[in-house]
Amino acid sequence: MEILNFILPFLILLTVVVFVHEYGHYYFAKKYGVGVTDFSIGFGKEIFGFSDKSGTRWKFCLIPLGGYVKFFGDRNVFSEIEQKELLKKYNENDQKKLFGAKPLYQRTLIVAGGPLANFLLAILIFSFIYMFSGKDFTPAKIEEVQIDSPAYISGLKKDDLITYINDKKIQSIVEVSATINSSSKDDLKISVLRNNQELEFILNPKIISTSDSFGNQVKRKIIGVKLSPLNNEFEKKKLGPSKSLYYATKETWFVTKTSFEFIVSMFKGKGDSSQLGGPIRIAKITGQVSQHGFLAFISIMAYISISLGFINLFPIPLLDGGHLMFYLFEKILGRPLKQKTQEGFFRIGLFLLFSLMFFTTFNDLKDLGLF
């Protein structure tokens, strides 16, 4: 029964974010007249489904870890010659439905539609939360500075009001920890307001191993301060549609930006690779968060949706970003890459994806105490 508490929320979350992602591809494909033969949630054997009037098969499959949209006459077109040969196999009406026969900008939008839909879903969820639950605007006042802590050494004092961290404006007490822990930089630049004067401090946070609110082992950056609401009052405000959209877009951009910075730090050998997780860790966290109610559940859905959109933009063949990379080469060269070249990229992409899957699965199992 406890397993169901983790698996069921995870499957619901995954189904929603994958459906939205694939629908992004589907929307632009239909907009530009591309035939869609399959819209699948999951891989492998079909469990159930139906066919619509246009001939698209909508289905749920046995392995629920992903999904795909299959286009009419779907195949890789490696060269202009192959494209001409492909067109000969179809009549004039069917040629109009071929994905490979569409102009480059249309193919680009169709492929980019998946990640774009994930980012839009996150913005929609954050906007909903800010409108109906509210957004916290409690100023971050320092209540206490621990002796010999990074904050103490740098010169931060009691009653300082934190205004910026690494040039990111801090508008809420809850943003302080999130901003510090999402930073990929060794040092933190913290701006505070002290006696109506703006001061700036540089400090090096400590990294400690601790437990989060769910009991999971995590590594956190701490600077050694205790925060309290200004005047001991929390300020949570319900926002109008336009402000909600603004802050939702801002939050989505912040998560995407920090994710990119983390990946860059990984390549530099500075990022903490133990923070990377796969389906097992996501399922565990989703199950834990869902026990705190609907708003907590859709919040984690928004962050997972951003992650899915972001990862799919990696320039790795088999991912959307890999196709966009090929289209960039096609734009520069004036023709598609040759078959041998694309096949070489696909082999590299397959190796990278399997390596990433192995690594994240190892981290997941290690997180469960199996290693």
CB-neighbour burial class of residue 152 (10 A; exposed 0-12, middle 13-18, buried 19+):
middle
Other Cβ atoms closer than 10 A to 267: 8
The encoded tokens of residue 24 equal: 């992004």
Residues in contact with 305: Cβ distance below 8 Å, sequence separation at least 6, in sequence order = 17, 20, 21, 118, 119, 121, 122, 125
Q: Which of 2, 22, 175, 251 is catalytic?
A: 22
The values of phi and psi at residue 252, to 5°, are: -65, -40
Residue with tokens 């098969």: 57
Residue 144 annotated among the catalytic residues of the structure? no
DSSP letter, residue 274: G
Cβ proximity of 40 and 68 under 8 Å: yes
Torsion over CA of 348, 353, 358 and 359, rounded to 10 degrees? 100
Half-sphere exposure of 224 (CA within 13 A, CB side): 17
> Exposed e or buried b for every residue in 80-108, given b needs 16+ CB within 10 A?
eebeeebbeeeeeeeeebbbbbbeeebbb
| Residues with active-site annotation | 22
